[in-house]
Amino acid sequence: MSVKNIEQLISGNNIYQANIDRWKFLYNSFIGGQTYRDAAYLTRYQNETAEEYKARLNNTPLDNHCASIIQVYNSFLFRSEPERDYGSMTNLPELNDFIKDADFEGRDITAFMKEVSTWSNVFGHSFILVSKPNIGYNNGSNLKQLAEEFNVSIETIRLIANAQTWSHI
């Protein structure tokens, strides 16, 4: 690996670096409460001491309107069960298993998509990681065996904590 490539890896992603402060602000605004207070977004007064600023931060009410608005929007969006067309896959038991537990954490596909909608409203975008094992379809296995080996999982990724180490919250 060349020195230029190593320097590029160490420096991080330019788009991430350009947006991380904005994404942290959006996340803190959505979470609200102490998380928002700890981020100290309240504008300092000229000649205000650190103690005065901290006291003003502690005395400022922090009503979380961001979360309320997103929850109301999602309640309208998911008021009725979404209609989905799976075509020829409709009666596959594997599809039904996936719909009932989309992320291997017990959430059905609708609950998962509600979370995707929430984070899309917070950040303006959301990423979905689809994990499917690489099993050979031409290995002579019968369909029942393939169905037993076939597991699909999805996960929402919010890369704001530290994209350089690929951790997520």
Distance CA 149, CA 164 (A): 33
What domain range is 90 assigned to? 69-157
On whether the CB atoms of residues 157 and 127 are closer than 8 A, the answer is yes
Structural domains counted in the chain = 1
Distance CA 116, CA 70 (A): 12
On whether the CB atoms of residues 113 and 82 are closer than 8 A, the answer is yes
DSSP class of residue 106? S
DSSP class of residue 96? H
Q: What is the pTM of this model?
A: 0.72
pLDDT in tens, the chain (169 residues): 566 666 766 667 788 788 888 989 999 999 988 899 999 998 999 999 999 999 999 888 878 889 999 999 999 999 998 888 888 888 888 888 888 988 888 889 999 999 999 999 998 888 888 876 665 555 555 555 545 555 666 777 665 544 444 444 4
On whether the CB atoms of residues 127 and 145 are closer than 8 A, the answer is no
For residue 137, being part of any structural domain is answered with yes
Region for residue 101 given its phi and psi (left: phi exceeds 0; alpha: psi -120 to 50; beta: otherwise) = beta
For residue 116, being part of any structural domain is answered with yes
